[in-house]
Structure 1
Amino acid sequence: MEDDEFVSRDVGCGEGSEGLLRLLPTWATCLTYAMVFGQSSTLFTKQGSTLDRRIGFRDFNLEVPPAALQVLISVSIVGFVPVYDRILVPVARKFTKLPSGITTLQRIGAGLVLSLASMVAAALVEMKRLRTARELGLVNQPEAVIPMSFWWLAPQYVLSGVSDVFAMIGLQEFCYDQVPDALRSLGLALYLSIFGIGSFISGFLVSVIDKASSKKTGESWFSNNLNRAHLDYFYWLLAGLSTLGLLLYLHFAQAYVYKGRSAIL
């Protein structure tokens, strides 16, 4: 009797390990999303600190703190969730015949695409900001306000928020639903680890690039004088890594078989 118990435990352990290993390709390819996710509270804020953040009418003007621009992400999430639930899902359901409209992996993939788009938008806005600083002779005036409205940053914040509705919720569902039933808590830990490790990789990249660019050109991509820095280069780098991650994600997602089903994607 005891031998039978040991055998069943070994099989359960093996099945649990196999169930977690099936998630690793998706977990690894979503690290680039986590790297992009971290920029909204760091480099996006630094960008915003150099722009004209005044809002108001006539004699009344209010200057928005740079960190407060992150509210655009929350607003876009709150505004898009009803659109997703009430419009996109019912429309998709007519074509796919799925109760959820689209599969979890398709939802994550859409989020990765939007995350990539947010990086492209951020890079283009930063190029515009640097060009404006050069044209107006503000390159060596780090405290000067670039005559560009902070609303230029709205697209990258909004795209970041909408991508969270797809990717973040999709990842949470995927990691919770696709692990063996006995390891649900471990599945959520796996989900959270994406953002922890993604942030660590992002910080490591910033550190390495900061040292390398300072030695090569004498001016870091992340110089305290943002008018001489090159955040746009870093954004393009993240966009490139996101593209690579998206391609790998699509490759693995096409071959993925959901737990208890034979459907692909």
Structure 2
Amino acid sequence: MVVVRREGDGYNSEGDDEIEHFKNKEKTGLGLLTASAFFYPFEDSDCQKASNSTACSPPQLQVFLFFFSLYVVALAQGGHKPCVQAFGADQFDEQDPIECKAKSSFFNWWYFSFSAGILVVLTVLNYIQDNLGWGLGFGVPCIVMCLALIIFFLGTKTYRFRAHSDDINPFIRIGQVFVRAVRNWQTNPTAISTEEEAQGILAHEGIQQFKFLNKALVMPDGSKKDGRVCSIDDIEEAKAVLRLVPIWATSLVYAIVFAQVSTLFTKQGVTMDRKITSSLQIPPASLQSFVTIAIVTVLPIYDCILVPVARAITRKPSGISMLQRIGIGIFFAMLSMVAAAIVENKRLEIAIEHGLVDTPKATVPMSVWWLIPQYLFFGVADVFTMVGLQEFFYDQAPGELKSVGISLYLSIFGIGSFLSSFLISVIEKTTSRNGHTSWFADNLNRAHFDYFYWLLAGLTAASLIVHIYFSRSYIYNRKLVI
């Protein structure tokens, strides 16, 4: 295991440089977005006055600058998010009991801060963009990013950095294990047992799991005698990567559910009574703030109350295991889908009762506040699953691949979004055959989002069962002390 030391101890700051690099890219992207909106202002009134679509179009330079800025921000986020979480968690010494407990809380408070920022965006920035202009709306986050970069620089002398091993690149090292295991596929089991006994690993907890990789211990026939031998640590790293795959796969259903919060949930809200007062309506997209409210409310309770109580019972620094936490979150995601299905079914019944089936633009006389439970359930699910996945993929990835572990966590939601679109597309084509009304018809009063929510609830329940199965057999990485 690699250890962490402060910069003054002579360890390099490559992790610091990576974060600085991507922060600069993000700052550049936000700056270009601000410029595209500020220097080329384009108002809806311009479009209304225009007599043709060409005059209504923004300047080509503005379009180019806008999309170029978005790609720069996306590139920066792709590098910044995995690095900053891994780097933050690296500041804690796993060998220190106090810091080990604090490290578990780090992921809670990191996500708390992230969610609090989203809450500000959904309230303050949305108001600025709608009422004061997009130039200022993009400019504010650009200024905030610059301030964040300055604060980040101020802490440079206090940061800890992982010591870089002189060993071979971890990707090559782990890859060699799989390649050699395949080349040794026909190796005599006796030779493998002899090598295992020579390295004293017969009693190791994970030796029986993915045992085919133990074949990498034997040098392939015809190999040079002085060739590099795969050690038990190399094989353990390869097994650690394989153990992540089932958890990654079972979390994809959660990501599909996650994609509905900002899409179908909002479409439900558009059709419902959103009046707060006689002259004020709540924007349907603003209901997403209830997910964030649930997160910033439940996370402190979880970290300050539930974890200490669980810690006293289980004697684990984190209170409950990471996989248990993920499973609890998946359960709440299932409850969110059940609540969404029940509310949508009721909305359709009310639409039928009031003869609104063929008037999709009419407001269904059902308060939009009925949607709040499904948002709150999913907010609680995020507290458990989202944060649990972050900690799990960081903690269980091989020592030199911590940021790659966080990248795997992020890939769950990227691929989950694609799977959500694919699933909706398949259901759309299947349910609209032979003249039938699709579950996702443009007229929501004839559509059946409720059927889709029940389907997702069933898939989530199935993924929870599979998750529990793999969790029971999961072997956590052993911590090597140097």
TM-score, normalised by the number of residues in structure 1: 0.92
Where does residue 97 of structure 2 map in the other structure? none
Aligned to 1:237: 455
1:213 matches 2:434: no
- Aligned with 1:16 (options 219, 234, 237): 237
The answer to whether 1:53 aligns with 2:274 is yes
Q: Provide the rounded CA distance (Å) in 1 between the counterparts of 2:413 and 2:273.
A: 31
Match of 1:112 among 310, 315, 330: 330
Residue 246 (structure 1) aligned with residue 464 (structure 2)? yes
- Between the aligned partners of 1:111 and 1:217, the Cα distance in structure 2 is 39
**Matched AA of 1:40:** V
Give the distance between the partners of 1:206 and 1:130, measured in 2 at CA: 20
Q: Secondary structure at the match of 1:147?
A: strand
SS at match of 2:228: helix
* Unaligned ranges ≥5, structure 1: none
For residue 402 of structure 2, what is the aligned residue in structure 1?
184
Cα drift, residue 28 of structure 1: 0.7
Residue equivalent to 2:342: 124
Select which of 401, 422, 440 maps to 1:222.
Answer: 440
1:122-161 aligned within 5 A: 122-161=340-379
Q: CA deviation at 1:96?
A: 1.0
Deviations 1:151-204 (A, max 9, x none): 100000001111001000100110011011011121111111111111111110
Give the length in aligned residue pairs: 257
Alpha-carbon distance in structure 2 between the residues aligned to 1:131 and 1:18: 52
| Aligned: 1:44 with 2:44 | no
Letter in 2 for 1:36: V
Of 21-30 and 7-16, more deviation after overlay is shown by: 7-16
Q: Which stretch shows the higher mean deviation, 87-96 or 32-41?
A: 87-96
Q: Distance in 1 between matches of 2:268 and 2:382?
A: 21
Distance 2:376 2:225 in 1: 56
| Contact 1:107 1:167 (8 Å CA) reproduced | yes
> Which structure has the larger Rg?
2
Could you tell me how far apart the structure 1 residues matched to 2:414 and 2:226 are? 37
Q: CA deviation at 1:5?
A: 8.8
Alpha-carbon displacement from aligned partner over 1:214-257 (angstroms, at most 9, x marks no partner): 11452110011000000001001101111110000000001111
**Identity of paired residues, percent?**
55
Shift of 1:61: 3.5
Q: Partners in 2 of 1:82 and 1:117 — Cα distance?
A: 22
Please, which of 392, 397, 407 is the counterpart of residue 174 of structure 1? 392
- Greater than 2 Å deviation, 4+ residue runs: 3-6, 8-18
Deviations 1:113-143 (A, max 9, x none): 0001000000000000000001111100100
Looking at structure 2, the residues matched to 248 and 118 of structure 1 have their Cα atoms a distance apart, in angstroms, of: 19
Give, in whole Å, the separation in 1 of the partners of 2:404 and 2:289: 31
Assess, with a 3 A threshold, how the Cα gap between structure 1 residues 164 and 6 changes in structure 2: closer, same or farther. Answer: farther
Task: Say whether the 8 Å CA contact 1:19–1:180 is kept in structure 2.
Answer: yes
CA distance in 1, matches of 2:462, 2:396: 24
- CA offset digits 1:52-94 (Å, max 9, x no partner): 11113xxx53211111111111111111111111221122122
Distance 2:230 2:354 in 1: 71
State which of 83, 94, 106 in structure 1 corresponds to 2:301. Answer: 83
Q: Cα 1:4–1:75, aligned 2, differ >3 Å: closer, same or farther?
A: farther
Aligned to 1:128, the other structure's residue is in SS state helix
Whole-Å separation in 2 of the counterparts to 1:99 and 1:181: 20
Contact map agreement 1:16 1:183 (CA 8 A) in 2? no
